[in-house]
């Protein structure tokens, strides 16, 4: 009985899967990306992963548990971009922000992220949003914490000025992501210009400094 419980893991449920379970989840992720949410049935997963449905139910308890495990597994794989040392100079701070913005665009535009978000959004409704909350907790919240630390460091050094930490992060998010995320979720494809995440990030950070910077922002 190696069932991996992670239901009601509001605080920080230590989800540890065996290597075999990780392989199964990896296969499930591949199926999800290739065939969309409709292709994610227990029979298909079992066949693709060379395991039995009985094992799936023994490991993950339920179909919702399996989906939740897939989300948790992917979240555990994606390490929050660069939790490294915080920047000391304004140039380094701007560099960090641009890197963060570019990484954010890349991650949210990735096949796996889009497929998982589509799955969670498709399952969500006004009442029940189990998977949606999980995605928000394991994904959005982590990114917000990372960005919050970065922005706070910039504020401490006097590179930017703001009062409401949540508001400034949401503005940064809006400037960087614009309508790209929802458009891609709906199946739209970005233009070649829009797909240049480095340039998009640079432009967004320029605008961000124009709003929150303390110095005359040197245009790139």
Partner DNA sequence: TCCAATGCGTACCGTACCGTACGGTTCGGT
Partner DNA sequence: ACCGAACCGTACGGTACGGTACGCATTGGA
Residue ranges in contact with DNA by CB under 7 A: 1-2, 18, 20, 38, 40-44, 46, 50-55, 57-59, 62-63
Q: For residues 58 and 133, which CB has a smaller minimum distance to a copy of itself in the complex? A: 133
Least distance to DNA, CB of residue 45, Å: 8
Q: Which of 114, 142, 153, 190 binds a copy of itself (CB under 8 A)?
A: 114
Least distance to a copy of itself, CB of residue 59, Å: 25
**Distance separating alpha carbons of residues 101 and 83, to the nearest angstrom:** 14
Q: For residues 29 and 168, which CB has a smaller minimum distance to DNA in the complex? A: 29
Interacting positions 155-214 with a copy of itself (CB under 8 A): 167, 170-171, 173-179, 181-183, 185-188, 203, 207, 210-211
50 interface partner picked from a copy of itself, DNA, none, CB below 5 to 8 A per type: DNA
157 interface partner picked from DNA, a copy of itself, none, CB below 5 to 8 A per type: none
Question: Do 140 and 78 touch, CB atoms closer than 8 A?
Answer: no
Contact footprint for a copy of itself (CB under 8 A) = 33-38, 111, 114-115, 117-129, 132-133, 135-136, 140, 167, 170-171, 173-179, 181-183, 185-188, 203, 207, 210-211
């Amino acid at each position: 009985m190696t069932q991996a419980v992670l239901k009601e893991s509001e605080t920080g449920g230590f989800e540890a899967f065996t290597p075999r379970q990780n392989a199964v989840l990896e296969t499930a992720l591949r199926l999800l990306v290739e065939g969309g949410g409709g292709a994610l049935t227990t029979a298909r997963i079992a066949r693709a992963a060379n395991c039995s449905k009985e094992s799936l139910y023994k490991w993950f308890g339920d179909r919702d548990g399996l989906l939740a495990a897939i989300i948790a597994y992917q979240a555990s794989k994606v390490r929050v971009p660069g939790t490294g040392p915080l920047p000391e100079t304004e140039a380094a701070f701007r560099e960090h922000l641009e890197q963060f913005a570019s990484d954010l665009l890349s991650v949210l535009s990735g096949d796996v992220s889009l497929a998982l978000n589509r799955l969670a959004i498709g399952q969500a409704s006004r009442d029940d949003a189990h998977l949606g909350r999980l995605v928000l907790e394991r994904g959005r919240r982590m990114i917000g914490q990372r960005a919050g630390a970065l922005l706070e460091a910039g504020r401490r050094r006097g590179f930017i000025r703001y009062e409401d930490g949540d508001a400034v992060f949401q503005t940064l998010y809006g400037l960087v992501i614009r309508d790209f995320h929802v458009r891609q979720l709906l199946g739209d494809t970005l233009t070649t210009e829009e797909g240049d995440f480095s340039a998009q990030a640079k432009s967004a950070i320029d605008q961000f400094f124009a709003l929150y910077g303390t110095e005359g922002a040197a245009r790139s």
